[in-house]
């Protein structure tokens, strides 16, 4: 009898558990959790698939773009060693290789003089531009005055306009300032350096990241503002200095627009820069004779700036990212 009563009570308790609202609710919760888990797994698989697909597609597209970008450079390089004359070759690679194009470049043309002119203009413009940019950027970063924001906005807007839009005005100003010598290397230096301060914004952003407490400590110790800038801030600003030097050097080194506008018609061919002189070799009357020499000159011009950029690439990136932290 006792066993029968116990078994009946157990059955009643089990029945109570089965029909209990709490049990039903927990059962539904378990089912929902399982459904959510399954959806998460499906979503994870889908996201993983699209991530792999996106990465693979991006790598393929970048590889194609890289190949398309490298092919002209490789063609220019191999054509500089071509022995066959003329501007056109039936094959991508030369049928006969030679160094005569480089020998001719340095012995029979005025390339070395053009190279020296370009280097002189680029170095002078680089020094002036770097000084202007760093000085203006530091002044806007540290000195507070009434017209500061207005001047910054005006300079920022002016810097957005393409440089060639001001060529006509620059040309006539040079004719007024240098009536007897407006077609000269000095004119090119003036053109490249005149608007240097307009590109101050990246350098100002970098100087904004340098703690102002350093300036205050130097001023308390009796240092002037110039001494603070020269002795304290500049040693900490190596990335932005190198960035400014690279940008200001590459611009005149590779420029053709300003050179062709100012120096065209100069009777002395030796006054040309590399870009203007090499472009003359591509004219209809000279291209058949000088195309392979042009390719050799292009390799010689591109090599030093490429090595310089690769050597200083780390500081270039640091200068850009450091200047982008603050505006």
Contact status, residue 292 vs residue 276, Cβ threshold 8 Å: no
pLDDT of residue 22: 64
Stronger pLDDT, 56 or 180, i.e. the higher one = 56
Checking 77-85 for CB contacts under 8 A at 24+ apart, the result is 77/295, 77/299, 79/291, 79/292, 79/295, 80/292, 80/295, 80/296, 80/298, 80/299, 82/292, 82/295, 85/288, 85/289, 85/292
Residue 124 pLDDT level (bands cut at 50, 70, 90): very high
Look at residue 126 and tell me whether its pLDDT is greater than 60. Answer: yes
Other Cβ atoms closer than 10 A to 308: 15
Q: Directed axis angle between helix 185-194 and helix 111-142, to 10°?
A: 30
State the pLDDT confidence band at 327, using cuts at 50, 70 and 90: very low
pTM for this entry:
0.74
Rounded to 10 degrees, the C-alpha dihedral 88/92/98/102 comes to 70
Query: Can you tell me the distance from the alpha carbon of 132 to that of 199, in angstroms, rounded to the nearest whole number?
Result: 10
Q: What is the mean pLDDT of residues 153-173?
A: 74
Mean pLDDT of 248-265: 83
Lowest-confidence region among 116-130, 133-147, 196-210, 271-285: 196-210
Q: For position 220, what pLDDT does the model report?
A: 86
């Amino acid at each position: 009898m006792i066993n029968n009563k116990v078994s009946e009570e157990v059955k009643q308790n089990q029945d109570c558990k089965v029909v209990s609202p709490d049990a039903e609710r927990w059962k539904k919760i378990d089912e929902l959790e399982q459904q959510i888990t399954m959806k998460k797994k499906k979503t994870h698989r889908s996201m993983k698939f699209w991530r792999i697909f996106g990465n693979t597609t991006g790598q393929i597209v970048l590889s194609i773009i890289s190949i398309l970008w490298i092919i002209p450079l490789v063609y220019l390089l191999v054509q500089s060693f071509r022995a066959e004359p003329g501007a056109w070759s039936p094959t991508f690679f030369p049928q006969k290789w030679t160094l005569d194009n480089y020998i001719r470049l340095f012995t029979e043309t005025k390339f070395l003089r053009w190279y020296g002119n370009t280097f002189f203009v680029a170095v002078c413009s680089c020094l002036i531009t770097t000084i202007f940019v760093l000085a203006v950027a530091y002044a806007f970063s540290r000195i507070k005055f009434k017209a500061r924001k207005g001047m910054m906005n005006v300079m920022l807007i002016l810097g957005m306009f393409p440089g060639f839009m001001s060529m006509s005005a620059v040309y006539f100003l040079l004719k007024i300032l240098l009536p007897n010598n407006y077609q000269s290397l000095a004119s090119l230096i003036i053109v490249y350096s005149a608007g240097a301060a307009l590109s101050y914004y990246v350098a100002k952003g970098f100087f904004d990241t340098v703690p102002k407490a350093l300036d205050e400590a130097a001023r308390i110790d009796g240092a002037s503002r110039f001494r603070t800038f020269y002795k304290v801030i500049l040693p900490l600003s190596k990335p932005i200095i190198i960035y400014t030097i690279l940008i200001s050097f590459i611009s005149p080194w590779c420029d053709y627009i300003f050179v062709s506008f100012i120096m065209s018609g100069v009777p002395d061919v030796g006054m040309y820069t590399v870009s203007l002189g090499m472009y003359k070799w591509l004219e209809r009357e000279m291209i058949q004779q000088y195309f392979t020499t042009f390719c050799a000159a292009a390799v010689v011009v591109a090599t030093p700036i490429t090595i310089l950029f690769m050597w200083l690439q780390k500081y270039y990136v640091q200068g850009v990212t450091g200047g982008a932290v603050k505006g």
